[in-house]
Amino acid sequence: MSTNGPAGTEISARMGFAFSPRGLRAASVAVAGDTALLESWQLGAGEVVQRQIAGLALDRATRLLPLDDGSLVLWQQCGSQRHEITMYPATAEGIPGTDGHRLGSLTALGGYLLPGPAGWSAPGLAVTVDDADRSTIWRLGAAPPGIERIVRLPGRLSGGAWIDEAGRALAINQTPRGGRQHGIVVDLSDGSWRRTWFMSEASTDQILLCSPATRLLVVSSNASGEPRLGWGVLGQRTVHFPEALHRRGYPRHPLAVDDRGERVLVHERAGAVSRLFVYTPANDSLTPLDSPRGIVSSPACWAGDVVRVPFSQPAHPRTLATLRFDDRSAAKPAWSLHQATTSSCASADAELVELDGAAGPIEAIVHGGTGWRYRERLVVALHGGPLSAWGFEFDPLFHSLASAGMTVLAPNCRGSTGYGEEHLRSALGKWGGPDLDDVRHLCARLERDRRRSGLPAPIVLGVSYGAYLALLAACADPDSWSGCVALAPLLSPAALHVDAADAVRDRIGELGGLNENQQQGDVLSLCASLRAPLLLVHGRRDEHIPVRQSRMLHRRLLELGRHAGTDLDYVELDTNHAGVVADWPSELLRRIKRFCLTHTATTGGMRQEAPVATHVGRG
């Protein structure tokens, strides 16, 4: 299996995984440098075969729909609201060819593809969100007409699961304008629909999975005040929310139902790693599965005794993992990762450590070598959010820094998800409060240890909300950092609320950003104390944190006497939010790496007498 792109360029990311109806094929988009490549996966009973398909122009946003015979349907955005759908028939080798034919063009705000049920005559469905008030379901055809409208519905549609094996009816989620999400069932034969899953006007209620074999519905609702998983049978009034499926402060979601409709694969985020379970509704049992440390992501496919799921560890980008169940030991499936080799780069040398936070231990991931406290070049990285967390997985930015000889410390401070209710809620309504206290506590310990050993101060780097924290930390302890990298920062919750779109404003309110007791750390009013050199990067088309936030900070710093190109590097990229904090174009990685190398001195590498941090045990 190839792990490299054109001319040996290393694959840095994979996304867009999709499975064919019977699970015989999968497809993904791989990124090598700044080039997006199509990957086709053959998933028979034996060894998985993965191929890169040259000759197709893709980008990261390309939507994929593989078919069981090896054919492929692509959804690509062309312009602000025009979307092209193209079908590429299979070659004699059972992989998509490069001579495709256009099924049609759709005009919409956005949309996605849905596979048909196994054996369906059509390739699948397209769902478009036409505007804030309407969505449309379309049938795809291999022969003209390539796209045929089935039904237009009010509200925004999302998700989608078949409730019968003949493909007559579809369960899907609907969000009316100004209202909350609920689940509906659409009869594709006549376009009629009915609300099926609804708890209250104030709750968000979703249909997550459905089994055509048993009509088992897996649902979620936050009617109790927090998201909970539940299940029921379509046509029956009772919905169960078992305690076995709920663990406060540890996000869980279902990945797949087995093809008999009897078991559900459930994912839990437990700190920096994923945990998997099998839930059996018939006896309300939740069985934990043995699995390697890493991060599992959607989607998953469960066919027979085999589960396929995207999986990543720090040593390599996301790939497909296979879990094979043995009835004699259902809790210990045999795992295999479809990766020819494990990267030998420095970022593969990663560990989970436990640190002292301001109010108790916090977990962190160290990329780039053991003995991290006494390594010459140290970067402390702060994640976005506020409700998010770093995962024990491959990260292109951390890989780039570690490959240049730097060590990255990525802590999950208070407010991070996956560490229980108390850890999570301590930062709600207190943006830049307990989480900043943890960063400053960590900073003080690092400063003491490193100064005693003659090592330079670390660089603080943050993305999105983490960039806001990084700026606050650099202002609060101006002599404790060698530099600050702020990627798409906000200036304060209140300032963002003024500039942001309605959806972001709503989210700020939900997370307590405007509470009266909010500890309002306003970067604009604090930045006069900032002394560390600053790299400030923002996307001009940022839809989450408008670029005006960084422009205001840049202007203020120039007024305070900062000098462009020496202690202030300001970069605007022609991209959106993800283009600065997630997609990692090569030029941005080079800028960050150059800044970090420039502003950390070299004094001879790691001190061998350095104590190694405590490892966090994981089962």
Higher-pLDDT residue of 422 and 84 is: 84
Round to whole Å and give the CA distance between 584 and 401. 12
Question: What does 118-161 look like in DSSP terms, one character per residue?
Answer: TT-SS-EEEEEE-SSSEEEEEEE-SSSSSEEEEEEEESEEEEEE
| DSSP state for residue 616 in the 8-state scheme | P
pLDDT for position 121: 84
Q: What is the pTM for the complete model shown?
A: 0.91
Confidence check: pLDDT of 388 > 70: yes
Round to whole Å and give the CA distance between 23 and 304. 10
Q: Tell me, what amino acid is at 180? A: R
Per-residue buried b or exposed e for 342-379, using 16+ beta carbons within 10 Å of the residue's own CB:
ebebbbbbbbbbebebbeeebbbbbbbbbbbbbbbbbb
- Averaged pLDDT, 573-599: 95
Which of 172-181, 324-333, 565-574 shows the lowest mean pLDDT across its residues? 324-333
- Averaged pLDDT, 16-42: 94
Pairing of strands 568-573, 534-539: parallel
Contact 347, 399 (CB under 8 A): yes
Query: What is the percent of the chain where pLDDT is above 70?
Result: 92
- Averaged pLDDT, 457-478: 97
At 302, list the tokens. 């469960």
Round to whole Å and give the CA distance between 170 and 386. 35
Q: Which residue from 441, 313, 437, 400 is spatially nearest to 365, judged by alpha carbons?
A: 313
Residue 152 has a CB neighbour count (10 Å cut-off) of: 13
Contact 266, 252 (CB under 8 A): yes
Round to whole Å and give the CA distance between 390 and 395. 10
Packed helices 396-403 and 586-598: angle between N→C axes, nearest 10 degrees:
40
Q: Which residue from 484, 403, 401, 415 is spatially nearest to 443, judged by alpha carbons?
A: 484
Q: Tell me, what amino acid is at 3? A: T
pLDDT band at 615 (very low <50, low <70, confident <90, very high): very low
Q: Which residue from 493, 489, 578 is spatially nearest to 534, judged by alpha carbons?
A: 489
Question: What does 377-413 look like in DSSP terms, one character per residue?
Answer: SEEEEE-S-SS----SS--HHHHHHHHTT-EEEEEE-
Confidence check: pLDDT of 342 > 50: no
Backbone φ, ψ for residue 84 (5° rounding): -100, 135
Fold of 354-598: Rossmann fold (3.40.50)
Contact 135, 157 (CB under 8 A): yes
pLDDT for position 516: 59
At 376, list the tokens. 């010459």
Confidence check: pLDDT of 346 > 60: no
Q: What is the residue extent of each domain of the chain?
A: 1-152, 155-241, 354-598
Distance set, CA 183 to CA 168, 174, 209, 214, 371 (Å): 17, 6, 11, 18, 51
Query: What is the percent of the chain where pLDDT is above 90?
Result: 72
Helix, strand or coil, per DSSP, at residue 593: helix
Question: Which residues are registered as beta bridge partners of 362?
Answer: 355
pLDDT for position 393: 96
Packed helices 434-452 and 465-476: angle between N→C axes, nearest 10 degrees:
50
Round to whole Å and give the CA distance between 266 and 286. 9
Contact 312, 356 (CB under 8 A): no
Confidence check: pLDDT of 471 > 80: yes
| DSSP state for residue 47 in the 8-state scheme | -
pLDDT for position 375: 86
**What is the chain's length?**
619
Which of 10-24, 216-230, 320-334, 466-480 shows the lowest mean pLDDT across its residues? 320-334
- Averaged pLDDT, 150-155: 96
- Averaged pLDDT, 111-127: 92
Is the peptide bond between 386 and the residue preceding it cis, with omega within 30 degrees of 0?
Answer: yes
Round to whole Å and give the CA distance between 350 and 369. 7
Confidence check: pLDDT of 6 > 70: no
pLDDT digits (tens, 9 = 90+) for 401-417: 999 999 999 999 999 99
Q: Which residue from 496, 500, 503, 501 is spatially nearest to 175, judged by alpha carbons?
A: 503
| Mean model confidence pLDDT for the chain | 89
| DSSP state for residue 55 in the 8-state scheme | T
Helix, strand or coil, per DSSP, at residue 53: strand
At 513, list the tokens. 């950003």
Round to whole Å and give the CA distance between 613 and 349. 14
Q: Which residue from 550, 544, 542, 552 is spatially nearest to 574, judged by alpha carbons?
A: 542
Helix (H) or strand (E) segment spanning residue 450: helix 434-452
pLDDT digits (tens, 9 = 90+) for 279-300: 999 999 999 999 899 999 999 9
Confidence check: pLDDT of 168 > 70: yes
Confidence check: pLDDT of 614 > 50: no
